[in-house]
Amino acid sequence: MAGIAVDSEAWFLERCQKVKLSESTIRTLVDAGFKSFGTLAFAVSTTPTQLDEADVKRWMGSIFPHDFPPDQSSKVRRLMFEAQNLSVADMRARVEPAADTAVVRAMPNAERLARQEALKKRVTGLILSPETLPAHSVVDTLVKQLEDGVLQYLPAYRIISRAQEAQQLKKDQQVVVDGEGNLKMASKAESATCDTHTDLALRNAWTRRSLAYDLAGLCSFQVLEEWCHKCFLALMRPVPSGYSKALLLRA
């Protein structure tokens, strides 16, 4: 999930506020085009881990006023350090395969909330609550598929709600062997499931799936909902003489 952290504008803004950058400093950074850690990491050099102090001062002098407060300067440097490390971690994650491929990193909370707010504005007429929203783990799993470039089928009974996820106990740990033959503790694979034995329960799970794919950036809610609507229309359509009724497989 390092890629989302690097490019998330919402999380970058949250970090700016947490390190107590002033509103004017944040506005100056954003107006100059530095809206994420990914853009800030390469603001001075293409090799952010080998920055020269003179280059940093020259860059800061080009966008900030001459009377820029020293405390604000140190906080911007702190953000640059975080941006550099996040960029390096993102590159390493893309090049070096993870020892435990089942591990799904959580999306930054600020980015998650920003995506949910954007979804509320796009999807009207649907009440978004913990019972109707997909679990965070479901969205994170789909984001991992997007980052890995490998699309995998996620059955309806695995699309649990956020409310159900919140009631789950802490994941159990197990001993696994990584790619270098070392023993390490890792979380067991997620096994929580939801009820899909009735048509209504299945339809609710499909709605959560549509929301999850939209939040992950894999597919829009409208496109998936049109497909779900088409499936249920086929199920309820009167059966012509000599034909069998369509069956709904709850896989």
What digits encode the pLDDT tens for the residues 40-57? Answer: 988 888 776 677 788 888
Measured in degrees and rounded to the nearest 5, phi and psi for residue 183 equal -85, 140
Q: What is the DSSP letter of 108?
A: P
Residue type at position 178: D
Determine the Cα–Cα distance for residues 171 and 234; give it in Å rounded to an integer: 40
pLDDT at 150: 87
The distance of Cα 191 from the centroid of its chain, to the nearest Å, equals: 20
Closest CA to 40 of 1, 2, 8, 72: 8
Residue 37 has pLDDT above 70, yes or no: yes
Average pLDDT over residues 99-119: 81
Determine the Cα–Cα distance for residues 83 and 98; give it in Å rounded to an integer: 21
Closest CA to 197 of 249, 135, 245: 249
Residues 128-170 pLDDT 10s: 999 999 999 999 999 989 888 888 999 999 999 999 998 875 5
Determine the Cα–Cα distance for residues 163 and 4; give it in Å rounded to an integer: 24
Determine the Cα–Cα distance for residues 223 and 115; give it in Å rounded to an integer: 18
Confidence band of 13 (pLDDT split at 50, 70, 90): very high
pTM of the model: 0.71
pLDDT at 159: 95
Structure tokens given for 135:
């679990």
Residues 59-106 pLDDT 10s: 888 999 888 899 999 999 999 999 988 888 888 777 766 555 556 778
The percentage of residues in the chain with a pLDDT greater than 70, rounded to a whole number, is: 84
Residues 175-212 pLDDT 10s: 655 544 556 666 655 578 898 888 899 999 999 999 99
